[in-house]
């Protein structure tokens, strides 16, 4: 019940295209859903996050779509750039439960020039 | 404003030795989390600490692993009698004071432990 399932495992997109990464969760107590970006040899960097009281959040080229009834959320990267090539992790937590993050398995994104 | 600091960045230990990993949270942050990332896998929660208290250690292996966050100084993750399966990247994250967006966690660069 604590799992977060992420897909696809890897994704190749052309420059300028849209990258879409999906996550699904089971625990209905989760109430905070961040996305992290990780470059090789670096720590994960908080990219964007959403609470379940909204269905969409946009920051620059990054958008989270959230479907509470389906227990799914996704990251959309518009106008993908080669510099976006990294591993992306979705995560979930309960704010009042101590905030330990449960991560998805990760998606390795490659944006070809 | 310095971010989360971890040292050493790389650590090589022989089987049976001890590994000590250090984490200094961001300024103003009093919550520390440790996560482990095995090769080609996602991050797994290990332990959550506040100053002088272990809040949640449900992700810690029962033996050989311990963590502390003293009143003064960095948080320490200690692995005794390391085995090859302990080889991984260990990440520390910190979050701000209670009641102020404690759910936002910021990660350090990690310590890459190799056990030979």
Residue B104 confidence (pLDDT): 83
Q: What integer pLDDT is reported at residue B29 of this predicted model? A: 86
| CA-to-CA separations, B55 to A62, B4, B27, in angstroms, rounded | 33, 20, 20
Whole-angstrom Cα distance, residue B104 to residue A99?
Answer: 8
Q: How far apart are CA B90 and CA B88, in angstroms?
A: 6
* Cβ neighbours for A94, distance < 8 A, ≥ 6 positions apart: A27, A29, A30, A31, A32
Interface residue of B44, B56, B92, B103 to substitute, partner A, most A CBs within 10 Å: B103
Instruction: Kindly report the length of chain A.
Output: 113
pLDDT of residue A99: 75
From the CA of A78, how many Å to the nearest CA of chain B? 24
- According to the model, what pLDDT value does residue B2 have? 73
In chain B, which residues have pLDDT < 50? Answer: none
Residues near A41 by Cβ (< 8 Å), separated by ≥ 6?
none
| Omega cis (within 30) before B68 | no
Of A34, A99, A104, which has the smallest distance from its Cβ to B42's Cβ?
A104
pLDDT of residue A67: 94
- B90 CA to chain A: closest CA distance, Å? 9
Q: Mention every residue, 6+ apart, whose C-beta is less than 8 A from residue B97.
A: B28, B29, B30
Q: What is the pLDDT of residue A1?
A: 54
Q: Specify whether the CB–CB gap between A62 and A76 falls below 8 A.
A: yes
Which residues of chain A are under the pLDDT cut of 50? none
Cα(A27)–Cα(A94) distance, integer angstroms: 9
């Amino acid at each position: 019940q604590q799992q977060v399932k992420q897909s696809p495992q890897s994704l190749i997109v052309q420059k300028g295209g849209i990258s879409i990464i999906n996550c699904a969760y089971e625990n209905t107590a989760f109430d905070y859903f961040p996305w992290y970006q990780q470059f090789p040899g670096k720590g994960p960097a908080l990219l964007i996050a959403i609470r379940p009281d909204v269905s969409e959040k946009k920051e620059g080229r990054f958008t989270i779509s959230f479907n509470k009834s389906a227990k799914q959320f996704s990251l959309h990267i518009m106008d993908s750039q080669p510099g976006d090539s990294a591993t992306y992790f979705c995560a979930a937590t309960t704010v009042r439960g101590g905030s330990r993050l449960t991560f998805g398995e990760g998606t390795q994104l490659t944006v070809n020039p | 404003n310095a971010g989360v600091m971890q040292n050493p960045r790389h650590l090589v230990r022989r089987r049976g030795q001890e590994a000590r990993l250090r984490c200094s949270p961001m300024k103003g942050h009093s919550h520390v989390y440790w996560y482990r990332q095995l090769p080609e896998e996602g991050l797994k929660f290990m332990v959550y600490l506040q100053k002088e208290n272990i809040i949640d250690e449900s992700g810690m292996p029962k033996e050989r692993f311990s963590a502390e966050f003293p009143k003064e100084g960095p948080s320490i993750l200690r692995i005794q009698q390391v085995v090859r399966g302990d080889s991984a990247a260990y990440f520390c994250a910190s979050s701000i004071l209670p009641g102020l967006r404690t759910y936002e966690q910021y990660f350090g660069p990690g310590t890459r432990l190799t056990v030979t």
